[in-house]
A and B are shown apart, each in its own frame.
Chain A
Amino acid sequence: MRLFTRYNQILLIISLFGLLIIGILFYRMLVFYLDRQIDHDLVEEIMEVKEYSDKNSFYKPHEFEDLIVQYKKIKQARLLSIYADTVFYNPVKHRTESARYLKTEFEIVGQPYQVLVIASKFERQEQIRNICLIILLPVMLLFGLVLLVNRILLKKIWNPFEQLLKNITAFNISQENPYKSVDMPIMEFRQLNQVLVELSGKVKSDYDEIKLFTENASHEMMTPLAVINSKLDNMLQSNVLGKDDGETLVELYKATSRLTKLNQSLLLLVKIDNNLLQDEEKIHLKSLIEEKTVYFQELISERNLILDSALADVTIAASRQLLEILINNLFSNVIRHNYDGGMIEIRLNAEKIVFSNTGHNKALDPEKIFDRFYKDNSSEGTGLGLAILKQICNRQHYLLEYSYHHDLHTFTIKFNK
């Protein structure tokens, strides 16, 4: 729910309830005061009746007064006066109207009488209705106006906030989109903006530091690796090695080679991240893939893989280095995760490259396979090949997708994201 909507909703509910309560109270007060006024008139009528009684006659009200006086003989007059609401038949207007009466008892011309004065409330009710209307209409108008102003004002005030939201969303650390500061007159927003500027700066510098650390750590490891490698090479020249030593050396070579590969991959990731490989040029993808097919030929035939490729003449502008790594990794991947005698399918057209392969695994988790160091236990790779693939696609603004159907693991790269 949007902030405006929520705010207006609450405002509307509270205002309506408030208005309703105030309206009821106001109406009750008005009715109370008008009743008091009628009661006052009724008392005056009684005074008149008493005045006439002093002159030994019965008072009769004028016809236009919407008022009747009734006399009833009683045995004994008590001291009482009762005010109450009633309905009566107005003989002048020939209709029943709501009214107010005053009942009292006293002696007239020496006889005890119950005197009932009934006054119509019709005129007064008309008055109440008019007063209510006069007050209600402007209040409603004002209310509507307040809502409208609120809406416009809120929108205007929150406008920079929306901009700020947009800028945070656009903030991307690995693609070098820094957080763009927003200029704002409101203090709280300004504070938020300030905090975001500082935070994004901190995140960026931490990120850079980690990248630098990875780079330095990987570089530093290269020299000791070179020492190990060279010592192994020398050891291999010895004439006194036994069969067991040979096996140990094989393992040592494998481990060293893997460590080297891992380091190189980490460095490559940092390099792609730092945008160091961006020598854009026109690349004929078909010939690049064909060239790489020859490059990987021995590996493909060694495992009796069937290669089925359909390549269109496609030329794109991109970094040659990145594309070579991309195709290399795709090839390595479809060969490595295949079984002997399996299939490799390569498709290339103007929109996309597709590499598919058969494999022992069922569908992989498309959310995770591009994560660094994600690999199944049987894999001998570094676990960085697909991460590098993803990174290159990000850099080149390609869309990389993984899918699995008809027993084929398929990697699709769409050029136009």
Chain B
Amino acid sequence: MKILIIEDELGLQRSIVQYLMAEGNLCSMASTYAEALERLAVYDYDCILLDLTLPDGEGLQLLNYLKRMNKTEGVIIISARNSIEQKIEGLSLGADDYLIKPFHLSELNARILAVVRRKSAHGERHIEFNEIRIDLDAKEVIVNGKVVYMTKKEFDLLLYFVANKGKVISKSAAVEHIWGDDSDMADSFDFIYTHIKNIRKKLIDAGSKDYFHSVYGVGYKFTDI
């Protein structure tokens, strides 16, 4: 996938690039409004990550530009401002998602995949990983043709891990993914273990291999190696 990262904080920009390149994506970077405009005019991307506060302009203007040019790239706004108004404004100007800083790279990656999937013409509504098949519309997990019953949180968590397959996901990222940020419980990481244990058990019971690996006690990796 070709991804454009418009972000003026270079530290963050480099981290995102490093993470996404490892996933096999092609990344270009822009740290100013002018630079971003230049790239958008010349190239097409699958997904654009857009920081709203740029040193020389408002990120929202770039959304207007994309609209005028009839470009259909998926756009994810990444902003430090957690305001409903800005979120609504961004989404109504054509952004596909709104991610609030600070975020985990695994979360960003999952969102990118979701946006690109939604945008793609074929609109694949299921994801496969070896013998596991995840139906996004029915919100069902099917292993070897059998439906495995999962709670909403378990389903979301599995999807999250599959989207970031081969990557280590920290407990912190997993907690934030299923709990959002409106609970005051995000600092209690350990119960995520229970969730993973349940998902694991259900998958193995249905005949799947065990793909979850605990890493350094920090997090988990979903991989078939």
Contacts and interface: CB of A to CB of B under 8 A. Distances in A.
Contacts of A249: 170, 216, 218
B172 A256 contact: yes
A299 interface: yes
B212 interface: no
A355 to B, nearest CB: 14
Interface stretch (A13-21, A146-154, A173-181, A228-236): A228-236
Interface stretch (A41-49, A85-93, A182-190, A258-266): A258-266
Given A234-B15, A234-B19, A335 B185 contact: yes
Contact of B187 (A245, A298, A381): A381
A107 B92 CA distance: 136
Contacts of A295: 183
For chain B, which range describes its interface: under 10, 10 to 19, 20 to 34, or 35 or more residues? 35 or more
Interface string A261-286: 10011010001000011000000000
Q: What is the interface of chain A mostly: helix, strand, loop, or mixed?
A: helix
Q: Which of B82, B106, B181, B194 has the largest number of chain A CB atoms within 10 A?
A: B82
Contacts of B187: 254, 257-258, 261, 380-381
A219 B80 contact: yes
Contacts of A223: 9, 12, 80, 101-102
Contacts of A234: 15, 18-19, 105
B186 A298 contact: no
Interface residues of A, number: 55
A79 interface: no
B189 A227 contact: no
A237 interface: yes
A408 interface: no
Interface stretch (A307-315, A322-330, A363-371, A398-406): A322-330
Contact of A229 (B102, B153, B191): B102
Contact of A329 (B81, B173, B184): B184
B15 A299 contact: no
Given A222-B80, A332-B184, A233 B9 contact: no
Contact of B184 (A246, A250, A385): A385
A247 B153 CA distance: 27
A302 interface: yes
B9 A253 contact: no
Contact of A230 (B105, B172, B175, B191): B105
Nearest to A335: B185
A401 B22 CA distance: 53
A382 to B, nearest CB: 7
Contact of A243 (B11, B195, B216): B216
A416 to B, nearest CB: 26
A225 interface: yes
Contact of A276 (B83, B173, B219): B83
A233 B22 CA distance: 12
A247 B170 CA distance: 12
A277 B182 CA distance: 14
B70 interface: no
A380 B188 contact: yes
Contacts of A219: 80-81
B145 interface: no
Contacts of B83: 271, 276
B102 A246 contact: no
Contacts of B189: 250, 253-254, 257
A244 to B, nearest CB: 9
A222 B185 contact: no
Given A223-B9, A223-B102, A230-B12, 6 more contacts: A226-B80, A230-B19, A246-B216, A246-B217, A257-B172, A258-B187
10 contacts: A230-B12, A230-B105, A231-B15, A234-B15, A236-B215, A237-B168, A246-B217, A260-B181, A276-B83, A321-B84
- 8 shortest interchain CB distances as A-B pairs: A246-B216, A230-B15, A226-B102, A222-B80, A226-B101, A332-B184, A227-B11, A233-B105
Interface of A: 219-220, 222-223, 225-234, 236-237, 241, 243, 245-247, 249-250, 253-254, 256-258, 260-261, 264-265, 267, 271, 276-277, 295-296, 298-299, 302, 321, 324-325, 328-329, 331-333, 335-336, 380-382, 385
